[in-house]
Amino acid sequence: MHGLDTLAQTTPWRRRHPGEKALLALGLVGAAVALPPWPGALVVGAVALALLLGPLRLRPGQVLRAVRAPLVFVVVGSVPLLVAVGGDPLVRWAPEGLGPAVALAGRATAALLCLVLFAASTPLADALPRLERLGVPAAVTEVAALVYRLLFLLLETAGTVREAQAGRLGFRTWRTTYRCVAGQAAAVFVGAFDRARRLEQGLALRGYTGSLRVQVDERPLSVPFVVASAVLVGAVVTVTLVLA
């Protein structure tokens, strides 16, 4: 997530309105879900990957780092379709599940690339404030922003604690490793509560009334980009239905 947010600050689409990019990315996600898995997932995934490597100018290694962790969940979710439980033997290979497993993995991977397309081009700070205009309660967006910010602070704290433990040879054996991991978890847990308490006190001293007001840059929608996005999604649907 942190890497994606960093990429989103530097891509050529950084200054575009989030609604434009959401129309393109979510349109492709809808196509990946609604169209037949073959060749729909392949076409949608290829288009999303081409946009990531082309207009967004990401390197293949950056795309791979962005998708490798979610791909683990895709694989874990597809494997159970290949296994049947019951009968003799109790757990056995189910060849009839190969087709659904491949279809599920294809759809999920294509949708994942589409979501990465949006995340790698739109910083969260641009998207969250505009959600209120769509009817999302302000409390939801504020909690999401605070959690997003605190998550990286906690990860930084955990990394600092781990470096300190490693410098003291805390990971020499399994026994010392378990002790260090427990100490690291305790330090992060206590630090999270302390940081949350100080954040609450700071907001109260600044006259917090239940809403965090932030300045949102006004960016006009690009009609050519919106039209091109709609044409691209329509082309994906047409090609898929022709090839299906």
Q: What is the pLDDT of residue 41?
A: 92
- Dist. CA 137–CA 125, nearest whole Å: 16
Token pair 């949608």 is at which residue?
44
Q: What is the pLDDT of residue 210?
A: 67
Token pair 């994906």 is at which residue?
236
Query: Angle 194-214-115 (CA atoms, 0-180°, nearest 5)?
Result: 85
Q: Which residue from 36, 62, 49, 183 is spatially nearest to 114, judged by alpha carbons?
A: 49
Residue type, 122: T
- Dist. CA 198–CA 192, nearest whole Å: 10
β-bridge mates for residue 20, sequence order: none
Token pair 């690291």 is at which residue?
184
pLDDT tens per residue across all 244 residues of the chain: 467 778 888 889 988 889 899 999 999 999 999 999 889 999 999 999 999 999 999 999 999 998 998 999 999 999 888 888 877 777 788 888 888 999 999 999 999 999 999 999 988 878 887 887 788 887 788 788 878 878 877 888 888 888 888 888 888 888 888 888 888 888 888 888 888 888 888 878 877 776 667 667 778 888 999 999 999 999 999 999 998 7
Distance of CA 41 to the CA centre of its chain: 19
Helices (H), 54-137: 60-78, 98-119, 124-131
- Dist. CA 128–CA 212, nearest whole Å: 12
Q: What is the pLDDT of residue 2?
A: 61
Q: Which residue from 26, 24, 18 is spatially nearest to 218, judged by alpha carbons?
A: 18
How many CB atoms within 10 Å of residue 70? Answer: 16
- Dist. CA 131–CA 137, nearest whole Å: 8
Q: What is the pLDDT of residue 21?
A: 93
Burial 127-150 (b: 16+ CB within 10 A, else e): bbbbeeeeeeeeeebbeebeeeee
Domain positions in the chain: 2-122+218-243, 136-205
- Dist. CA 49–CA 116, nearest whole Å: 9
DSSP string computed for 164-176: HHHHTTTTSSHHH
- Dist. CA 161–CA 165, nearest whole Å: 6
